[in-house]
Each structure stands twice: as structure tokens, then as C-alpha cells.
Amino acid sequence: MVKIAMEENKKPVIATKCPKCGQVVKFYSPGQGGLVKVKCPHLECGQTFGVKITEKQIRMGMDRNSEKSSHPATDPIIPTNGTPSGVVARLLQKKRHFYNKDKYYGLQLGSNTIGMYDSSSPSDIMIEGDRTISHRSVTILVEAVGHSYKYLLTVNRSKNPVYLSGKMIPVGTSVYIQLDQEFILGKTHFCLTNK
């Protein structure tokens, strides 16, 4: 849930909960509606997520006569109906064995780097259990085009070949991928989905 408040003589303040840690994150309103990318400031988290803000929510936050929620007077926050997800598609990591489960990772607008799990060289999406995937192996750039999205897959570096629909993609190459199209990093199979 997104909440908007107006501080005295300042821009409206937006408060939302981080989808990962659940802590409240506050930031100044961008002044117009749209999708805002926010990074959780809490040291243990650091999750980057999107917050969808509408023009109506901004106007409601600026209206001092609006009904206030039960927050202290020093922090007058007005509840609105925004969503803090920012996820526009999901990356499906297909199970490798019958006892494994499929895993889903959210893709957000902008750059989404995928690589092997390594805390010293982190990726946006870190894959555990497959040491054949390179650190920061590929990037999926999500671009908004009208009412839909384009997904550009770029191979950054790879100690093992990256395959898209059975064809090897050389390092440094970028190619647009479609929903439900499969690609392979190391020994792990992925599929882009919006489900």
C-alpha cells in the first residue's frame, strides 16, 4: 500500500512498504504519476522495487482537507491504492530434478542482471546451486513500449555458452526475447513469463 503525505512547505512524501523486508520506505513525490524505482534504505535489505503512483494519488496527498489515517500528526499520511510491486514480467527458473520446484524472479523496468550467487559480486537475480553460471552473466533490459514491454537479453560474460531457443548467443551480443521463450545459462533453464 502506498501512502502520500504533505510536509509543511515541502513536496508530498510517499510511504510504502518494501516487498522484501516489510519496512516502511519514504521518499519525495516525483510530482507526476508513473512508476518510480526505489531502493530500500535498510542495511539488511537494499531491495530495489518499483512503486506505481497515479496523478489522483498525488492530488489526494496534496489536499489538506482529505481524511487523514491514524498516523501521528507529525507524519500525516493519506492511504491510497498504489501497488509497490513494479514487477512487469517474471523469470521462471525451471526445475532440474523431479524433487525441485520451479522458482520465479521478478523483472522490473530497466536493467536486470542475472548471475551466479556471489555476495562479493552481486547480481539483481542470483542463481544458487549452479556453479557453471558466470558472475553477472547476462542482463535483461525491460523497456516500456506503449502498453507493452520489450525484453533485450545481453550476454555480458559467460564461461559456458548461453543458448536462446537452442542457438548459442556470443558474448557481447544483444537479442530481443519473447514471452515463453527459453534460454539456458550454464546448466539452468529459464523462461520469460508474465504469469
pLDDT tens, residue by residue, 16-40: 777 777 777 777 776 666 677 777 7
Contact present, 70 and 86 (Cβ < 8 Å): no
Q: pTM here?
A: 0.55
Q: Residue 155 pLDDT more than 90?
A: yes
What is the percentage of the chain residues whose pLDDT exceeds 70?
Answer: 70
Helix, strand or coil, per DSSP, at residue 80: coil
CATH number given to 87-193: 2.60.200.20
What DSSP designation does 86 have?
-
**Strand, coil or helix: 158:** coil
Backbone angles phi, psi at 138, to 5 degrees: -135, 160
Q: Are the CB atoms for 14 and 26 separated by under 8 Å?
A: yes
Sequence ranges of the domains in the chain: 3-79, 87-193
Q: Does residue 53 register a pLDDT over 80?
A: no
Residue 40's contacts (CB-CB under 8 Å, 6 or more residues apart) are 18, 20, 21, 23, 25, 46, 47, 48, 49
Burial 26-40 (b: 16+ CB within 10 A, else e): eeebeeebebbebeb
Scan for cell 539456458, then name that residue.
Answer: 184
